[in-house]
Homo-oligomer: A and B are copies of this chain.
Amino acid sequence: MAYGIVTPQLAKFDTDLRLESGRILGPIEIAYETYGTLNADRTNAILVTHAWTGSAHLAGRYNEEEKRAGWWDEIVGPGRLLDTDRYFIICTNVIGSCFGSTGPTSINPKTGKRYNLSFPVITVRDMVNAQVLLMDQLGINRLVCVLGGSMGGMQALEWATQHPDRIGSAVILAATPRPSAQAISLNAVARWAIFNDPNWKKGEYRKNPKDGLALARGIGHITFLSDESMTTKFGRRFSARDGQFDFFGQFEVERYLSYNGYNFVDRFDANSFLYLAKALDLYDVSLGCESMEEAFAPVTAPLQFFAFTSDWLYPPAQTEEMVEVLKKLGKEVDYHLITSSYGHDAFLLEHETFTPMVQTFLENVEK
Contacts and interface: CB of A to CB of B under 8 A. Distances in A.
Interface of A: 20-23, 117, 120-121, 178-186, 188-189, 192-193, 196-198, 211-212, 215, 218-219, 222, 225-227, 230-231, 233-236, 244-247, 249-251, 253-254, 257-258, 274, 278, 281-282, 284, 312
| Chain A residues touching B, majority SS | helix
A181 B212 contact: no
Nearest to A180: B227
A186 to B, nearest CB: 6
Residue from the set A121, A179, A212, A250 with the largest chain B CB neighbour count within 10 Å = A121
Contacts of A215: 189, 192-193, 196
3 closest A-B pairs by beta carbon, nearest first, are A21-B245, A181-B230, A182-B227
B197 A245 contact: no
B185 A245 contact: no
A189 B254 CA distance: 8
A253 B179 CA distance: 13
Contact of A236 (B234, B257, B278, B284): B284
A240 to B, nearest CB: 16
A273 to B, nearest CB: 13
Contacts of A21: 244-245
Nearest to A23: B245
Nearest to A238: B282
Given A121-B246, A196-B196, A253 B219 contact: no
Given A117-B247, A196-B211, A282-B244, A230 B180 contact: yes
Contact of A189 (B20, B22, B117, B222): B222
A281 B246 CA distance: 13
A292 to B, nearest CB: 13
Given A23-B245, A188-B251, A231 B121 contact: no
Contacts of A120: 245
A177 to B, nearest CB: 11
A345 to B, nearest CB: 14
16 contacts: A21-B244, A21-B245, A22-B245, A117-B247, A179-B236, A180-B231, A180-B236, A181-B251, A181-B253, A184-B253, A186-B222, A189-B218, A192-B218, A193-B193, A196-B196, A196-B197
Contact of A185 (B182, B193, B249, B253): B253
Given A120-B245, A245-B23, A245-B120, A212 B185 contact: no
B257 A181 contact: no
A188 B121 contact: no
Contacts of A250: 188
B251 A182 contact: no
A227 to B, nearest CB: 4
A189 B219 contact: yes
Contact of A121 (B183, B247, B257, B278): B247
Nearest to A226: B182
A182 B222 contact: yes
